[in-house]
Amino acid sequence: MARVGLNPGDRMIVKIGTSSLVGPTGDPDEQRLALLCDEVAHLRDEGIHPIVVSSGAIAAGLQPLGLDTRPADIPGLQAAAAVGQARLHRIYSRLFAERRITVAQLLLTRYDFMNRQHYINARNTIDRLLTLGVLPVVNENDTVAVDEIRFGDNDRLAALVANLTSATLLVLLTDSSGVYSADPRKVPDAELLDEVERITPELERGAGGRGSELSSGGMASKLAAAWVSTFSGVPAVVASSTEPGILGRVASGDSVGTYFHARRKRASARRLWIAFAQPPRGTVVVDKGARRALVEQKRSLLPAGVIEVLGNFEVGATVDVMTPDSALVARGTVRYASSELEDAKGRPASEFAGREVIHRDQLVVLED
């Protein structure tokens, strides 16, 4: 299969990682940023609508606060993000203004993807900004996170923004040439992968762990983001931010970086929201019959097929549906609290007024 090339009017999500934004001390590298701004401006000249998802706020806040290393506590991370986010936005605004581009800052939280109205509002805002010729620059609002400092990383945020905005392509820029068959830091002869049809457990195991000390992601998070994006019907590219003309080459469909092919059948926007907009709060383990009913017969999940309940969750939470050997089958909105489902598991739905554990309209099959 050929790579997707972009046409005028298409939207490209450009995620710029911390390692591509800052130098070893955490200070923003304005020379590198200026080159990336040139490339984004070139995309716009070609009629493509880029949306930037930028990391680096916490790292950029370290030097002004007199810190040498990333804080380990939540208030420290939030303080660094508050300072660094303002610093980064000033730089973006100045660099893009020099290229006659107006930028808008969008700070999103996990709640904005969990709450349907917030989700729609964010989508409408980005649509209007693009109509007005404004470049959206998105980051997670690290300063107000309450349970964790971020989604996990901005790679996942970028994949969700690709879904949110109906983008044509997701580009994850990093300090690596792409995705390798194994961690090149440990396996020197690891092969750079040109294209990936399907993200396998073997590929995930070979991705290694976190990246640089100042960043929170790494190749494993990029594979996870690529999985979300490609399931949503949006192909993804992982490529080096220092490759000359990288964004233009990717937009032209050139063979650069690692290209992840999109799933052929795209789910509806509502099902994608169910699957990826909010994190799962627990796991429901099902037997073979229930798995077959969900995957092959497109039926609802009933209490009789549940054999184990993991985690604490309330009615309306998103949960994963898995087999006993930990294979992910589906994700959906549960109609039982975990304590109630613990009592109901293995029993007929008739004992519970016919209530399904997850109705088929609120369930997304994720099994390949």
Q: What is the domain-level CATH number for residue 360?
A: 2.30.130.10
Give yes or no: residues 259 and 311 share one domain: no
Residue scoring higher pLDDT (323 or 207): 323
Q: What is the domain-level CATH number for residue 35?
A: 3.40.1160.10
Give yes or no: residues 331 and 183 share one domain: no
pLDDT category at 211 given cuts 50, 70, 90 is: very low
Give 292-311 pLDDT, tens digit per residue: 999 999 999 999 999 999 99
Q: Between helices 154-164 and 116-131, what is the axis angle to 10°?
A: 80
Give 94-105 pLDDT, tens digit per residue: 999 999 999 999
Q: State the amino acid at position 30 in one-letter form.
A: E
Q: Is residue 275 part of a domain?
A: no
**Between β-strands 328-333 and 318-322, what pairing exists: parallel, antiparallel or unpaired?**
antiparallel
Give yes or no: residues 178 and 322 share one domain: no
Lookup: tokens for 121: 């509002």
355 burial level (CB within 10 Å; 0-12, 13-18, 19+): middle
- Residue-range definition of the domain harbouring residue 341: 280-365
Give yes or no: residues 333 and 252 share one domain: no
Average pLDDT over residues 85-92: 93
pLDDT, mean over the chain: 88
Average pLDDT over residues 68-73: 86
Give 256-283 pLDDT, tens digit per residue: 999 999 987 776 777 777 887 777 899 9
Residue whose C-alpha is closest to residue 336's, from 301, 292, 293: 301
Indicate the pTM of the whole model.
0.83
- Given 270, 288, 313, the domain boundary residue is 270
Q: Is residue 3 part of a domain?
A: no
Residue scoring higher pLDDT (58 or 92): 92
Residue scoring higher pLDDT (69 or 133): 133
Looking at the structure of the chain, the number of domains it has is 2
Give yes or no: residues 29 and 154 share one domain: yes
For residue 145, the surrounding DSSP H or E stretch is: none
Helix spans in the chain (H): 18-21, 30-45, 57-60, 74-97, 110-114, 116-131, 154-164, 201-205, 219-231, 246-251, 269-276, 288-295, 338-344
Q: Is residue 2 part of a domain?
A: no
Residue scoring higher pLDDT (137 or 56): 137
Residue scoring higher pLDDT (141 or 248): 248
- Given 270, 296, 311, the domain boundary residue is 270
User: What is the model's pLDDT at position 149?
Assistant: 38
